[in-house]
Chains A and B, each alone.
Chain A
Amino acid sequence: MLAGLLIVFPLIAALLVFMAKGKGARNLALGFSILQFALSLVALFQFKHNPTSHHLLLNCTWVKSLGINFAVGLDGFAMLLVLLTTFLVPLIIVTSFKNTYEKENIFYGLILLMQMALVGVFMANDGFLFYVFWELALIPIYFICLMWGGENRGKITFKFFVYTLLGSLFMLVGLVYLYNNSMSLAGTKSWAIQDLINSGRSLGEGQQSIIFWLIFIAFAIKMPIFPFHTWQPDTYVTAPTQGTMLLSGIMAKMGTFGVMKWLLPIVPMGIEKWGGFAIGLSIVGVIYGSCIAIVQKDYKRLIAYSSFAHVGLIGAGILTATAQGLQGAMLQMVAHGINAVGLFLIADILLRHTGTRDIDKLGGIRSMNGNFAVLFLIVMLGAVALPLTSGFPGEFLLINGVFQFSATAAAFAGLSVILGAVYMLRSYQSIMLGDRKDSNITFGSLDGSDKAVLIIICAAIIAFGVYPKALTDITEPAVKALMQNLK
């Protein structure tokens, strides 16, 4: 019941917001998204109380003859990511308060629709439903980028769309293959995740390898992992700030989550054979992304590349299929989601206040606004993964996981920490410290809405850095169950 509500509520909210007029749409959307967060807190309470409660599961028939069910549920992974989504969406809506968008009702309606699809992806327990939500998430973000994006948005969003759609279609082929090979208890074909897992495991190594690549490509494009990342930097830069936040904060997690839930248990032999190669690709991406981030002039583009590097490390950690890697990945998904929203907000604030995001032109902002400097510092340190910030435990566990897999790989993955510190600290130094480089650039006090969001984000960064157990408690049983499943 509760599980169904988590998906249906944002859908209804989106439809209502579509009908609202003017500023009303914005406030309505914020109200609904906060309610949705409250709803997910109720779910969390229920989850803590009784993880196997029937309130957290829903299973109704959709297309009977094809074995398709509307099956959703919350396990530890889903719970955490649903919380992340519902926590970030209200913040993302608040960050838009200082921007004026045409057709606000459509804009906010699409954000809520996106939220529905994302929650659906995380909760789906049916392969077909997963695919439908997966595709559904693409449509609102495509329109958000297309209608409110920056320069050259037509071409760039288009590339993004075709790229991800192509990946998804390959995934569909892979899933249909698994479905055709599946056999439920009742003796019919079935899309239920457990049946797909059994179906995948009954295949030989060769077939598992093919399935691995068909499905992995979809996830690799979404995350993205090198060399499937070419859509990402341009899309992140062109999209409106809120679109970028949705893309990097939450949508990139769809890919990493997908690998965890829909790839690791289904094709263990495929992972054994090709996982190392995929980890290699991820780590190449980590280093490649970090190196390119170092030379960026546009701050938003810099964050885009850093996001690429971070997500690559998460992917590598998951593909090691070790307990540390998985646990670290979960922590890092949350940490990176929160950080990404903070950093992209900062890029947006810089642009709004100074009219530029060019690192070389900005300077000495600390002397103009000390509060902003402190908040920026905390977010930035979170991204660098300093101990006692939320980035640290995740990154530590991830590298630990990669180390168990291969020490050489871990050595290269570890470089990401150093390189991350280089571009983050350098850009902070250039933007905030030193003297003003351009006397025309002024920086007044922060707007209330921006300040509120940054403070919440900083609080979350510190809280989860000091007490990561709050997060690991949620995912621990799920990681254990998954590890059990992998043996």
Chain B
Amino acid sequence: MKGFLVISALGVLAMLAEVFKFKRILLPLVVLGILAAYALNYMEWEHPYSISYFQNMIAFDKVALAFSGVILITTFFWFILANNTYDNEPHMVDHYALVLFAVTGAIMMTAFTNMTTLFIGIEIMSIPLYVLAASKKNNINSNEAGFKYLIMGSFASAFLLFGIALIYGATGSFDLNEIRAYIASNPGNMPSFFYAGVIMMLIAMCFKVSAAPFHFWAPDVYHGSPTIITALMSTVVKTAAFAAFMRLFMIGFNGVNETWTGILVVVIALSLLISNITAAMQSNVKRMLAYSSISHAAFMLMVILANVRTNLSVNAILYYSLAYSIGSITAFGVLNAVTKYGNENFEEFNGLGKRNPVLAVCMTIAMLSLAGIPITAGFFAKYFVFTAMMTTTYKWLLILAVLTSAVGVYYYFKVIIAMYFKPAANEEPVEIDMGSKMVIILTALITVIIGVVPSYIAEMFSV
């Protein structure tokens, strides 16, 4: 909770930077603030002052703390990565404030226990992102991204609200635990609009995690937004959305899982097929990563589908989010450095192995991890999904996941092949600032380390 307060205070502080003229030291302040928030977060792990706050509106239990930890780590890396991009940006302060508010919303989503908190969290996170997506004002793609994101996001929010309203109508409460208790005490005689509410919320959440067939906004938004914002979307936003998804469906609607599992199976199968096949056909790396993020969403959804009521699934989603976020930070960091020299097509990576060997190695690790090759984090992430799915009746989904993973290898390796095998159009070395380089190296290292020693995260919640 204290970490959450620190981050929101940081956002306000960032807005003041322009007025009180401490713009130059804003980044160190923000980074220190994030570290402080992380430290506070960590202290609450063992000795929580209290778990639930504001009359049970928000609860920082261990699960929430763990997911906000992941969000804070990625935000920390993100700010260092973004520093260089925003150096010459006149509205840097506004950007920083917006990002910090988005992160505030994200943390709120990990800790909600009340439907209203969920809705407010999602909106706090999304509205700054609509603005950030369109932040390249003179770029038509960026404008399109912002507009599309806003329209589609509002659409999803409408679904979410309608769902919440219907559920409130049936249960008389916004509180997750009370809804759960209501389901348990009224087996089989709930009004039909309760089920409609559950399905509407499922659809809204699928929008937010960009699972097919509600994914149409994702590629355009990812592609049009500035690369650094895309990095934020595919890490912080994804983690928060999954934390919320998990809380909502595995705690709140666990009692009515036969209502939503059937739909989720179709969503997962479609996501796996559509994302991987389309990603394989992209010529733009950013779009490829956008489609691949849909496939990763499908993998995380599989854990929710498996619905193992032990901590196994919490561990699995936590590990997956961390592995995916860290890998994405590396990938987008390299992409950001490379695209300064041109567009975002695969050809831009040609000869990166010569133009900047360090970046090429880090990118290789990130791609291997996203493709799920041992000994990287991505492998264990997929492995945990497999073990969770093995306990369900949907084993055929696993075979589909395996087949589409092989397609995944195709497009991730296209990047590796381009870096080492294709001759570069220009031999000029790729320059990168010190901070970004450090972040890229560090995240690549973390990818390998948590791939070799997964126990710390994979056993965070004892099974």
Beta-carbon contact of B403 and A166 below 8 Å: yes
Beta-carbon contact of A136 and B421 below 8 Å: no
Nearest CB on B from A214, distance (A): 9
Nearest CB on B from A434, distance (A): 41
Beta-carbon contact of B417 and A172 below 8 Å: no
Beta-carbon contact of A165 and B409 below 8 Å: yes
Chain A minimum-CB-distance residue to B405: A169
For B459, what are the chain A residues with a Cβ–Cβ distance below 8 Å? 63-65
Chain B minimum-CB-distance residue to A147: B420
Bound-state Cα–Cα, A162 to B374, Å: 15
Binds B, one of A175-183, A194-202, A447-455: A175-183
> Taking A63-B454, A136-B375 as contacts, is the C-beta distance between A173 and B399 under 8 angstroms?
yes
**Does A481 sit at the interface, judged by CB under 8 A?**
no
Binds B, one of A33-41, A153-161, A374-382, A464-472: A153-161
Bound-state Cα–Cα, A65 to B405, Å: 26
For A172, what are the chain B residues with a Cβ–Cβ distance below 8 Å? 383, 386, 402
**Does A170 sit at the interface, judged by CB under 8 A?**
yes
Bound-state Cα–Cα, A139 to B459, Å: 28
Nearest CB on B from A158, distance (A): 6
Beta-carbon contact of B420 and A65 below 8 Å: no
Bound-state Cα–Cα, A64 to B413, Å: 32
Complex partner residue of A180 from B379, B391, B402, CB under 8 angstroms: B391
Beta-carbon contact of A161 and B409 below 8 Å: yes
Complex partner residue of B390 from A65, A66, A165, A176, CB under 8 angstroms: A176
Complex partner residue of A146 from B410, B420, B463, CB under 8 angstroms: B420
Residues from 211 to 225 in A contacting B, C-beta threshold 8 Å: none
> Taking A147-B421, A176-B390 as contacts, is the C-beta distance between A162 and B458 under 8 angstroms?
no
> Taking A132-B375, A173-B399 as contacts, is the C-beta distance between A146 and B421 under 8 angstroms?
yes
Residues from 426 to 463 in B contacting A, C-beta threshold 8 Å: 454-455, 458-459, 462-463
> Taking A146-B417, A169-B402 as contacts, is the C-beta distance between A65 and B463 under 8 angstroms?
yes
**Does A87 sit at the interface, judged by CB under 8 A?**
no
Beta-carbon contact of B406 and A165 below 8 Å: yes
Beta-carbon contact of B387 and A66 below 8 Å: yes
Beta-carbon contact of A176 and B386 below 8 Å: yes
For A162, what are the chain B residues with a Cβ–Cβ distance below 8 Å? 406, 409-410, 413
Beta-carbon contact of B455 and A161 below 8 Å: no
Bound-state Cα–Cα, A127 to B463, Å: 21
**Does A274 sit at the interface, judged by CB under 8 A?**
no
**Does B272 sit at the interface, judged by CB under 8 A?**
no
Residues from 364 to 400 in B contacting A, C-beta threshold 8 Å: 368, 373-375, 379, 383, 386-387, 390-391, 398-399
For B409, what are the chain A residues with a Cβ–Cβ distance below 8 Å? 161-162, 165
Chain A minimum-CB-distance residue to B463: A65
For B379, what are the chain A residues with a Cβ–Cβ distance below 8 Å? 132, 135
Beta-carbon contact of B402 and A166 below 8 Å: yes
Count, chain B residues at interface, CB 8 A: 29
Chain A minimum-CB-distance residue to B403: A166
Residues from 119 to 149 in A contacting B, C-beta threshold 8 Å: 131-132, 135-136, 138-139, 143, 146-147
> Taking A132-B374, A135-B373, A135-B379 as contacts, is the C-beta distance between A170 and B402 under 8 angstroms?
yes
For B383, what are the chain A residues with a Cβ–Cβ distance below 8 Å? 172, 176
**Does A62 sit at the interface, judged by CB under 8 A?**
yes
A64-94 contact mask (Cβ, 8 Å, vs B): 1 or 0: 1110000000000000000000000000000
Bound-state Cα–Cα, A136 to B452, Å: 12
Beta-carbon contact of A64 and B455 below 8 Å: yes
Complex partner residue of A177 from B390, B420, B454, B462, CB under 8 angstroms: B390
Bound-state Cα–Cα, A146 to B415, Å: 13
For A131, what are the chain B residues with a Cβ–Cβ distance below 8 Å? 374
For A165, what are the chain B residues with a Cβ–Cβ distance below 8 Å? 373, 406, 409
Beta-carbon contact of B455 and A62 below 8 Å: yes
Bound-state Cα–Cα, A119 to B387, Å: 27
Interface centre among B374, B375, B454, by most chain A C-beta atoms within 10 angstroms, is B374
For B390, what are the chain A residues with a Cβ–Cβ distance below 8 Å? 176-177, 180
Bound-state Cα–Cα, A65 to B399, Å: 25
Beta-carbon contact of B455 and A65 below 8 Å: yes
Nearest CB on A from B313, distance (A): 13
Bound-state Cα–Cα, A153 to B406, Å: 19
For A179, what are the chain B residues with a Cβ–Cβ distance below 8 Å? 387
Bound-state Cα–Cα, A177 to B391, Å: 9
Bound-state Cα–Cα, A143 to B403, Å: 23
B2-21 contact mask (Cβ, 8 Å, vs A): 1 or 0: 00000000000000000000
Bound-state Cα–Cα, A172 to B458, Å: 19
Complex partner residue of B368 from A139, A158, A176, A180, CB under 8 angstroms: A139
For B454, what are the chain A residues with a Cβ–Cβ distance below 8 Å? 63
For B375, what are the chain A residues with a Cβ–Cβ distance below 8 Å? 132, 136
For A132, what are the chain B residues with a Cβ–Cβ distance below 8 Å? 374-375, 379
For A170, what are the chain B residues with a Cβ–Cβ distance below 8 Å? 402
Q: Knowing that A158-B413, A162-B410, A176-B383 are A-B contacts, what are 8 other residue pairs whose CB atoms are under 8 Å apart, sorted by A's residue number?
A: A63-B455, A135-B373, A139-B373, A153-B421, A166-B406, A170-B402, A176-B386, A180-B387
A-B contact list, 8 entries, CB within 8 Å: A63-B454, A64-B455, A158-B413, A161-B413, A165-B373, A166-B402, A173-B402, A177-B390
Residues of A within 8 A of B (CB): 62-66, 131-132, 135-136, 138-139, 143, 146-147, 153-154, 158, 161-162, 165-166, 169-170, 172-173, 176-177, 179-180
List 3 tightest A-B contacts by C-beta distance, closest first: A166-B406, A169-B402, A132-B374
